[in-house]
Amino acid sequence: MTMSDKPRALILGSGTSTGVPLIGCRCPVCTSADPKDSRLRSGVHVRWRGFSLQLDVSADFRQQALRFEIERIDALLITHAHADHLLGLDELRRFNTIQQCRIPAYGRNFTLKGVSNMFGYIFSPCPLQSELYRPQMDFIEIGDEAVQIGPFTVSSLIVPHGPTNSTAFKITCEGRSFIYAPDCSKVEEDFVNFMMEAECVMLDGLRDRPHKSHLTITDSIEALSRSRVKRGILTHIGHDLLHADIIKRLPPDIEPAYDGMEFEW
Ligand SMILES: [Zn+2]
Ligand SMILES: [Zn+2]
Ligand SMILES: [Zn+2]
């Protein structure tokens, strides 16, 4: 058997900012026995040719790293500085120890500003605080130009996210692209072009009812089809719909994400 040389992605979390089940909720989704209805907060881990690239570090990141045996992170991409995508940042201390090195983290200017607001202790000079008590990170601002991160070519696009912005990342390997955009409220023309004919896109598909900061499932289906994306995966899913019910109504080239789902592109 020949080993595939394609990059492999593992979905660590497919849930919206509260996670599913919600604390104290007894709705049919929150009490579902189907493990695919248990949705931790957003994150994806990508591996290719020995390089491990982490997309977002959610509040559930420690639990996700243990569950999925993630033992290495060579670089981190951060979509935006909302708590559900970032509060796991402190857990990277453990990876500093394992790997005996600092870890580069990439984001747009507005994201890195948000990180420094939320994680002041990482940046503040504090001679009394041992370096062991904060993650050792090198934050690298990215713009419109693509950057090379290990074996990956990474480009990014700022997308609207309600009253603020988020980032869509495009990770390209040998001409094939995977796009990660878990938080987005409107797909404008530049985003349609950014996704055009990508192999795989993970896109915000919160629920059916409109939300000021997220796409509905119908919005997502329409955007993926306009961009002629080969494989669409809806993510950042709330507690409105059962996994089994979402699958039934999607076209064959689009599916809902679930925690632990793996794919290659
Ligand atoms: Zn989010
Ligand atoms: Zn619920
Ligand atoms: Zn967000």
Q: 102-128: per-residue pLDDT in tens?
A: 999 999 999 999 999 999 999 887 666
Q: Do the domain assignments include residue 2?
A: no
Q: Print the domain residue range for 102.
A: 8-259
pLDDT at residue 142 is higher than 90: yes
Q: How far is the CA of 37 from the centre of ligand 2 (A)?
A: 10
Q: Do the domain assignments include residue 199?
A: yes
191 touches 184 (CB < 8 A): yes
Measured CA to CA, the distance from residue 38 to residue 58 in angstroms comes to 15
Q: How far is the CA of 19 from the centre of ligand 2 (A)?
A: 10
Number of Cβ within 10 Å of residue 44's Cβ equals 26
Q: 75-85: per-residue pLDDT in tens?
A: 999 999 999 99
- Segment 133-153 shows an average pLDDT of 96
Mean of all residue pLDDT scores within the chain: 96
Q: Do the domain assignments include residue 62?
A: yes
Comparing CA positions, the residue from 52, 133, 141, 41 lying closest to residue 86 is 41
- 3-class secondary-structure state, position 198: coil
CATH of the domain at 141: 3.60.15.10
Q: How far is the CA of 78 from the centre of ligand 1 (A)?
A: 11
Quick one: which ligand is closest to 27's CA?
2
Q: Do the domain assignments include residue 55?
A: yes
What does pTM read for this prediction? Answer: 0.96
Query: Tell me, what amino acid is at 72?
Result: R
Q: How far is the CA of 136 from the centre of ligand 1 (A)?
A: 24
Q: Do the domain assignments include residue 1?
A: no
Residue 81: half-sphere exposure toward Cβ, Cα within 13 Å = 15
Q: Do the domain assignments include residue 45?
A: yes
- 3-class secondary-structure state, position 119: coil
Q: How far is the CA of 2 from the centre of ligand 2 (A)?
A: 44
Sign of the Cα torsion 158, 36, 8, 139 reads positive
Q: Do the domain assignments include residue 20?
A: yes
Number of domains in the chain: 1
Q: Do the domain assignments include residue 264?
A: no
Distance of CA 140 to the CA centre of its chain: 18
Q: How far is the CA of 67 from the centre of ligand 2 (A)?
A: 23
Q: How far is CA 222 from CA 52, 192, 203, in A?
A: 32, 10, 11
Q: How far is the CA of 29 from the centre of ligand 2 (A)?
A: 6
